[in-house]
């Protein structure tokens, strides 16, 4: 009787662990590994006008995103279309390239509005570029987020 009750407890505990991990997996997939230590968190708004900083100013060659060398950064792209815009039905996916590598974010759209790219920032003077790799309204404005390492 004792053994049976003990086993039941073990089975319940195992089932619970399994259920918990099932719930956690989609979150792990949805963004960068949460366990990864990040020094800098940057949010970039994305809409048909381009990549925007937190104040709503468009990033470009004249308004570059500056990142401190040697740190780890998580860039989070946030879907920022107006609900009244045709572009509200769009999906974006951002690629960052430079310094000999490239990385893609997950896709993001109205039902999944955030996607991140985490990377180790290179040496001073290195430059990266981010752009949307999907056909979307405003794609001509989503082709040149310049990232400068300072």
Using CB under 5 A, list all residues that contact Cu ion: 92, 132, 134, 136, 142
d(C-alpha 23, C-alpha 136), whole Å? 32
Q: Which secondary-structure segment (H or E) carries 1? A: none
Q: Which secondary-structure segment (H or E) carries 19? A: helix 2-30
Of 136 and 146, CB closest to Cu ion? 136
* Residue 73 contacts residue 43 (beta carbons within 8 Å): no
Of 132 and 149, CB closest to Cu ion? 132
Of 109 and 122, CB closest to Cu ion? 109
Nearest-approach distance from CB 137 to Cu ion, in angstroms: 8
Nearest-approach distance from CB 48 to Cu ion, in angstroms: 8
At residue 33, φ and ψ (nearest 5 deg) are: -55, 125
* Residue 143 contacts residue 132 (beta carbons within 8 Å): yes
Nearest-approach distance from CB 30 to Cu ion, in angstroms: 18
Of 123 and 135, CB closest to Cu ion? 135
Nearest-approach distance from CB 33 to Cu ion, in angstroms: 25
């Amino acid at each position: 009787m004792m053994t049976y009750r003990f086993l039941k407890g073990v089975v319940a505990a195992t089932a619970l662990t399994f259920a918990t991990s099932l719930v956690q997996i989609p979150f792990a997939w949805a963004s960068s590994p949460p366990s990864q230590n990040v020094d800098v968190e940057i949010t970039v708004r994305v809409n048909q006008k381009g990549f925007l900083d937190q104040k709503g100013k468009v990033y470009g060659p004249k308004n570059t995103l500056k990142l401190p060398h040697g740190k780890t950064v998580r860039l989070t792209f946030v879907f920022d279309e107006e609900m009244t815009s045709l572009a509200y039905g769009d999906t974006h996916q951002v690629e960052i390239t430079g310094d000999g590598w490239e990385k893609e974010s997950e896709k993001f759209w109205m039902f999944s509005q955030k996607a991140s790219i985490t990377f180790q920032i290179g040496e001073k003077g290195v430059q990266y570029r981010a752009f949307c790799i999907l056909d979307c309204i405003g794609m001509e404005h989503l082709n040149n987020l310049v990232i400068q390492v300072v």
